[in-house]
A and B are shown apart, each in its own frame.
Chain A
Amino acid sequence: MTMQAASTEIASRTAAIVQEMKGLEGPLLPILHGIQEEFGHVPQDAVPVIADGLNLSRAEVHGVVTFYHDFRARPAGRHVLKLCQAEACQSMGSDAVAAKVKQLLGIDFHETTRDGSVTLEPVYCLGLCACSPSAMLDGEVIGRLDDEKIDEIVAEVRS
């Protein structure tokens, strides 16, 4: 697909999402979630379409997209692994968990492995504070991380 065709494709799929949700009160966040679900990230080419649909400036939409940690500028890896780094998990050794996972995957937080298999992110609380240290792998929650569970997670994202 040529660059132009890809851009037209993004525009038309974005327009459909905007059309579906613009009747909501305060539609921008639901639209952005919808777009991220559709494309795996919020493409640059979607911004003018959203702005046009909601009668906002492109700068306003860009400002909202970049404010929130959830919205990605690029697609993530096939798996997304989030490690909780907040206080309750700190008290149970989340620092050591993060160090081990980073070493095993060979990446730091906010990075994706070169083969595109996994993106590693810190998260500040999953509400599993009585089951620390905790993590979320592709939306599935995991508590009381230990070496065995870490090895399982790493094996799963690598497979």
Chain B
Amino acid sequence: MIPRIYIPGDSGALALGAEKVAKAVRAELAERGIEAKIVRNGSRGAYFLEPMVEVATANGRVAYGPVKPSDVKSLFDSGFLTGGHHKRWLGAPDKIPFLAKQTRLTFARCGINDPLSLDAYKSLGGLKGLQNAVAMAPAEIVKQVTESGLRGRGGAGFPTGIKWKTVLDTTSERKYIVCNADEGDSATFADRMIMEGDPFVLIEGMAIAGVATGATKGFVYIRSEYPHAVAVMNKAVEIARKAGVLGVNVLGSPNAFDMEIRVGAGAYVCGEETSLLNSLEGKRGVVRAKPPLPAIQGLFGKPTVINNVISLASVPIIMDKGATFYKDFGMGRSRGTIPIQIAGNVKQGGLFETAFGLTLGEIVDDIGGGTATGRAVKAVQVGGPLGAYFPRALFDTPFDYEEFAKRDGLIGHAGITVFDDTADMLKQARFAMEFCAIESCGKCTPCRIGSTRGVETIDRLAAGIEPEKNLALVTDLCNTMKFGSLCALGGFTPYPVMSSITHFPEDFKPAPARVAAE
């Protein structure tokens, strides 16, 4: 048997030198005259171990990581092609604690094989969900998705099945499935990982959505900051089309469904569903007022399912294993699993898919292993740039949509950024306002003007100018933005700002007092 060596082609792994490792492995193979197959898999998501190289041995996979190009020679010397011991030896990848502790449903296949091998996809249960779906009545599919309890993983948490039902019940000669892959929130990379590591699961999920709602055309709107994801998705769509997964007869059924990959152009606000639709139509990405709901009048005025990548990629397993299987994971009204992305100043950063319900403290301290710098954790921002900053005092909050809302936060797209005790929360609050000012689409005043006034007011606070008055002004401004903005950009920017002020008041004291306190 020719040895198989797996070296991730995922952009996270590439950013850490996977390409140089691959080059070194190739050179070493040539020099030693060994014949081996190099497979460029996706990432399993343990980024603190990337580039993680795996070899297929008689006793299963053996992983090594993080591998540097300078390690390659000694890896060969240690007999790594048969699983030999080396300082980078990690053992069987699914036994690595960070991976072993996960419940992988949506990411079950991500990082294991060549993402563009449809055969590998099928060998690990791929396409079973779609096969089941094409044999069912649309209303039954929608019912199954509704009963699974799946809620929009983009951040809003709206029940996916209900959205689909609205589109199914709306009569139109043309309907669309739009996948929101404009993953702009800092600390999030789940969408990118799926698109680069298991693109067929997204294609399958979209095809199921099409069959379920009578939509025949799909678009994936991917942000331009993800060139690798764009490339993989384009190739995957081509392969799926040739294999009859997409086309006029999806898997040989009478259902037609095809899709296109579209690339954004650097506007954060296009992650908001209505501005994304405008952008797809070739317009400025300004937010639309709702109603009408996109499910009734969406893309080009037609009924449109618009879902996040992870929502759609979670559908195949629901259609394969059933609603009850999925629903049995989780807590309260948050059912199933959630891919938590642990990021920023953290020792063990990466993607951790698990049932809802872990506490924030367990995620940060036990799984993340605390800060990368080794200092104390000061704050954790949950849910991206529009999410609240949580202090250690709130680390008992369970990861659940409602529990986070109760504590004036949100789980958003489930990205969490860890900050150590050097963080200045006034600076973070100022950045939230500044980011809103840079990215505002300009449609509504509280967001467009409020964000700029917010930056100015926080600057006055920092300079110690009338602190009480300016603090009251920021609070009032946040209130106006929260209730007066059309979408989550202006509406949620107050979360990071107000949570910083509420939980870290010492950082907002006038400068002389802050110096005196230190």
Which of chain A's residues have a CB closer than 8 A to the CB of B301?
none
CA distance A141 to B16 in the complex (A): 8
Binds B, one of A1-9, A10-18, A62-70, A111-119: A62-70
Whether A153 sits at the interface, judged by CB under 8 Å, is no
Whether B47 sits at the interface, judged by CB under 8 Å, is yes
Which of chain A's residues have a CB closer than 8 A to the CB of B12?
127-128, 130-131, 141, 143
Instruction: Please state if A141 and B282 are interface contacts (CB–CB under 8 Å).
Output: no
Which of chain A's residues have a CB closer than 8 A to the CB of B285?
67-68
Question: Provided the pairs A29-B282, A89-B186, A91-B345 are in contact, do residues A123 and B423 lie with their beta carbons within 8 angstroms?
Answer: no
Whether B283 sits at the interface, judged by CB under 8 Å, is yes
Whether B381 sits at the interface, judged by CB under 8 Å, is yes
Binds A, one of B233-241, B262-270, B312-320, B324-332: B262-270
How many residues belonging to B are interface residues under a CB distance threshold of 8 Å? Answer: 66
Of A26, A30, A91, A129, the contact of B415 (CB 8 Å cutoff): A129
Whether A28 sits at the interface, judged by CB under 8 Å, is yes
Closest to B389 in A: A87
Instruction: Please state if B343 and A88 are interface contacts (CB–CB under 8 Å).
Output: yes
Whether A33 sits at the interface, judged by CB under 8 Å, is yes
10 A-B residue pairs with CB within 8 Å: A26-B299, A29-B279, A29-B280, A64-B282, A70-B266, A89-B186, A91-B345, A128-B189, A143-B12, A144-B16
Whether B300 sits at the interface, judged by CB under 8 Å, is yes
Whether B209 sits at the interface, judged by CB under 8 Å, is no
Tell me what chain A mostly uses at the interface: helix, strand, loop, or mixed. loop
Of B184, B217, B420, B438, the contact of A125 (CB 8 Å cutoff): B184
How many residues belonging to A are interface residues under a CB distance threshold of 8 Å? Answer: 42
A64-B282, A92-B344, A144-B16 given; 20 more Cβ-contact pairs under 8 Å: A29-B280, A68-B265, A68-B285, A87-B417, A88-B343, A89-B186, A91-B344, A123-B225, A125-B184, A125-B225, A126-B11, A127-B192, A129-B187, A129-B344, A130-B342, A130-B346, A131-B12, A131-B15, A132-B345, A134-B15
Whether A76 sits at the interface, judged by CB under 8 Å, is no
Instruction: Please state if A67 and B267 are interface contacts (CB–CB under 8 Å).
Output: yes
Instruction: Please state if A127 and B262 are interface contacts (CB–CB under 8 Å).
Output: no
Of B183, B267, B344, B439, the contact of A88 (CB 8 Å cutoff): B344
CA distance A27 to B279 in the complex (A): 10
Whether B38 sits at the interface, judged by CB under 8 Å, is no
Question: Provided the pairs A143-B12, A143-B15 are in contact, do residues A87 and B381 lie with their beta carbons within 8 angstroms?
Answer: yes
CA distance A68 to B300 in the complex (A): 20
Closest to A54 in B: B282
Instruction: Please state if B282 and A127 are interface contacts (CB–CB under 8 Å).
Output: no
Whether B185 sits at the interface, judged by CB under 8 Å, is yes
Which of chain B's residues have a CB closer than 8 A to the CB of A64?
282-284
> What 0/1 pattern do residues 217 to 256 of B give for CB contact below 8 A with A?
1000000111110000000000000000000000000000
Instruction: Please state if A130 and B48 are interface contacts (CB–CB under 8 Å).
Output: yes
State the Cβ distance, A5 to closest chain B Cβ, in Å: 30
